[in-house]
Chain A
Amino acid sequence: MAVKQRIRRSMIFLNTQRAALVKDAFVYHPDCVIFDLEDAVAENEKDSARIQLYQTLKQLDYQGVERWVRVNALDSDLINEDIRAAVAGGAEGIRLPKTETAAEVKAAAQKIEAAEKEFGRTVGQTMLMAALESPLGIMNAYEIATADDRMMGIALSAGDYTRTMHAKRTVAGTELFGARSQMLIAARAAGVMAFDTVYTDTDNEEGFKEELRLIKNMGFDGKSCINPKQIGITHEIFNPSEQEIQHAEHVMEAVQDSKDNGVGVLTVDGKMVDIAWVEGAERTLKLAKAAGIYEGELV
């Protein structure tokens, strides 16, 4: 069954053509894998990758790691078969590339529904996420995010976006501020998750950490990864620190206390606390619990 809200700090792209890559990528403990049928797969190997995808979905126990499939673009003649294979294999979700309008999401959703019916799967069990890769996609982010019930989230894909914006990729990511902000606002307004673009300089661990801190502070739920070594680092940054967990616990306890004793003003660790912080504290503890670093009973 589709679980829209869950921990998705890391989503790693796997070239589905490569048997050695897809056979046990779960050992890196990503939250999600994305079996790629699109850019990573050579044009003349699309058929082979698709069959490998189906057999992998069907036969390999991915140990609880969520399995997504990046299909080819809506205007390609490959997407129908991509979706049929993914749905028949039982993928948890489809990632639609180069999404620019709500209509495209609806079209993809129809194809998914048709496949679910064809292969006897529960209608609605396959989730959708849309990759926004152009200025138009960013402008339409909210409509895209709300276009269909299957929508789990939206993801930024910076390569094409930067090019069409006439921008230059910078280390600080200045050129992406607009897109990231607008996309996040849309995602939150629509109640779906938001994922940041890939970081391609796989040898630059410090730069990658910088970017992770930035997007975490902005409010992103997770990051697309291209190399297994990025998974551990992503989790390390996204996981709440011990201090954050402690503070969140104190906030939650103070709230309980104030409810029990009718105290009006909340103070935590010697500071006044706004009631609006409670939601954040709860989210921190939930994330910590899902990440396996918090075993308390407060959430």
Chain B
Amino acid sequence: MINSVGRDIPDEYLKNGVEPFQGIYYRDGYTYPKAAPKVSAYVKPTGDKMIASIRGAIIASGLKDGMTISFHHHLRDGDYVVNMVMKEIHQLGIKDLTVCASSLGKAHSYLVPCIEDGTVTGISTSGIRDEIGEVVSEGKLKNPAVIRSHGGRARAIEDGTVKIDVAFIGASTSDAFGNASGKGGQSDTGVLAYADGDAKYANKVVVITDTIVDVPNFPASIKGVDVDYVVKVDSIGDPTKIATGALRLTTDTRELDMAKEVAKCMYYSGYFKDGFSFQTGAGGPSLATTTFLKQYMEQDHITCGWAMGGVTEPIVNLFNEGYIKTVLDDQSFDLAAVASANEGRHFEISASQYANPFNKGAFVNQLNFVILGALEIDTDFNVNVVQGSNGVLRGAPGGHPDTAAGADVSIIVAPLIRSRMPTVRDQVTSVTTPGESIDVVVTDYGVAVNPKRQDLLKAFRQTNIALKSIEELRDLAYQYTGKPAPVEFDDQVVALVEYRDGTIIDTIRKPKSLN
């Protein structure tokens, strides 16, 4: 069936109530019962919940063939937890597991042999890149991977689309009863936002930490009342790869020029008022926007009410200098963010609070601005951030579709041409975020505004913002790069891109070049 962004979704993936994408607010007002976990009650006081080894915890949890396990990615490229757990599971010979991760990357390479021998047959994740991206693109995973945004994952857990049997939660610190947090240990992650739903909705919950602290480990992101077992290991991760050192602001003139243009669009949008809210990604031009926002705030004597997102040092600096009153943190990207998390008005929020479309109003719905990147953008403003132009999986929706749907003004910033690859093009390789939710595209060759936002067009026409139509941007790109030939794909579907509301927005097939 052709969905509303023009993508053909094979009927075999539209069963058991799964629907094709039908517009960003199609499921507004949707009613559903939440999926409660099956809890084993601890009525009798039995001392602490410590288990001597990961293997012991896996056995105690009753993990069996065909079950679903979950992980979070707050330990990012420094994560040891996924590989440690998967090695034990592999040795125990448990098969046919589905891994529901908040994201997967370089640090999780042990999943590759697990995929190849059928230990893992299903994956649900936001990020899918590097070796795992390749092995899935090659079609070696038995079932198509499901790509979910951060809000989409929280929704899938709460509405029962995903039923987690055992959640493995790496935590920087924990007490012996499972009160766990991202602070105070050897491998701090600042927050544990993505694990919140796992702890509350999984049937069994295992906390894995390298730092046991006295009871109670408060404030606790993960509450002991939700935790079955606690395992202490030597190290949950490599701190140097968990949070990068100070994320330097870009000095590249092209990126700075784009950032300046983004800030200008925000300033003239009509939403730049005292108490405004915004989220910006950690990419070069997105992050650099903060420098110019600060200038505008100074100029107009206003402050930002709250900033949200993957938090970085430039955001923390603005917060400490009083330009931002409150920070809402679902992921701490660098050491400054980790240190600042949960101090003063820098609050941790759960993935559901952040972006879940099926609760009673996530913070994304209250955003004035979001600044996002893109691998590809088509002339309907549809954005791809998941699949490389050669067809191989190499990205992550993260909060992209969530924030774009929620914010008053969603701005994409990307260079028009990367080496020879046109960013703005006739068709994106696959749709991650529908164009309906994208308002402005800022490139180094000019700025395009979605025609449905006549208010923004009208406002920008009064300024020196270099306005072009999206078709003009595409033509400019093609003028220099030539029109790219379409990549050829096999019939085999290797991944489904699920929109945040659970509908299917696109399917990803195996590129012929990988045959």
Contacts and interface: CB of A to CB of B under 8 A. Distances in A.
Consider the complex of A and B and state whether they touch directly, i.e. have CB atoms less than 8 Å apart: yes
Interface of A: 23-24, 27-28, 60-61, 227-229, 231-232, 292-293
A27 B258 CA distance: 10
B464 A229 contact: no
A124 to B, nearest CB: 30
Contacts of A23: 480
A231 B445 CA distance: 16
A231 B256 CA distance: 13
Given A24-B417, A27-B445, A227 B480 contact: no
Contacts of A229: 251, 253, 256
Given A27-B445, A292-B464, A232 B479 contact: no
Contacts of A60: 480
B253 A227 contact: yes
A143 to B, nearest CB: 39
A27 B256 contact: no
B71 to A, nearest CB: 39
A27 B444 contact: yes
Interface in B224-268: 251, 253-254, 256-257
A232 B464 contact: no
Contacts of B479: 61
Contacts of A293: 464
A28 B480 contact: no
Interface in B447-480: 464, 479-480
B415 to A, nearest CB: 9
A228 B444 CA distance: 13
Given A232-B253, A292-B464, 10 more contacts: A23-B480, A24-B480, A27-B257, A28-B253, A61-B479, A227-B253, A228-B253, A228-B254, A229-B253, A231-B253
Nearest to B443: A27
Contacts of B445: 27
Nearest to B254: A27
A35 B254 CA distance: 19
Given A27-B444, A27-B445, A292-B464, A232 B480 contact: no
User: Which are the 3 A-B pairs with shortest beta-carbon distances?
Assistant: A228-B253, A229-B253, A27-B444
Contacts of B480: 23-24, 60-61
Given A60-B480, A292-B464, A28 B257 contact: yes
A228 B445 CA distance: 15
Contacts of B417: 24
Contacts of A292: 464
9 contacts: A23-B480, A27-B254, A27-B444, A27-B445, A28-B254, A60-B480, A61-B480, A229-B253, A232-B257
Contacts of B444: 24, 27
Nearest to B419: A20
A178 to B, nearest CB: 33
Interface in B257-297: 257
Nearest to B251: A229
Nearest to B479: A61
Contacts of A232: 253, 257
Nearest to A20: B419
B457 to A, nearest CB: 19
Name the residue in B257, B417, B444, B464 with the highest tally of chain A Cβ atoms < 10 Å from its Cβ. B257
A187 to B, nearest CB: 30
A295 B445 CA distance: 23
B424 to A, nearest CB: 14
Contacts of A231: 253
Contacts of A227: 253
Contacts of B253: 28, 227-229, 231-232
B248 to A, nearest CB: 14
Nearest to B466: A29
A103 to B, nearest CB: 40
B249 to A, nearest CB: 13
Contacts of A61: 479-480
Nearest to A227: B253
Nearest to B464: A292
Nearest to A292: B464
Contacts of A27: 254, 257, 444-445
A263 to B, nearest CB: 36
Interface string B469-495: 000000000011000000000000000
B290 to A, nearest CB: 18
A228 to B, nearest CB: 4
B327 to A, nearest CB: 30
A227 B251 CA distance: 12
Contacts of B256: 229
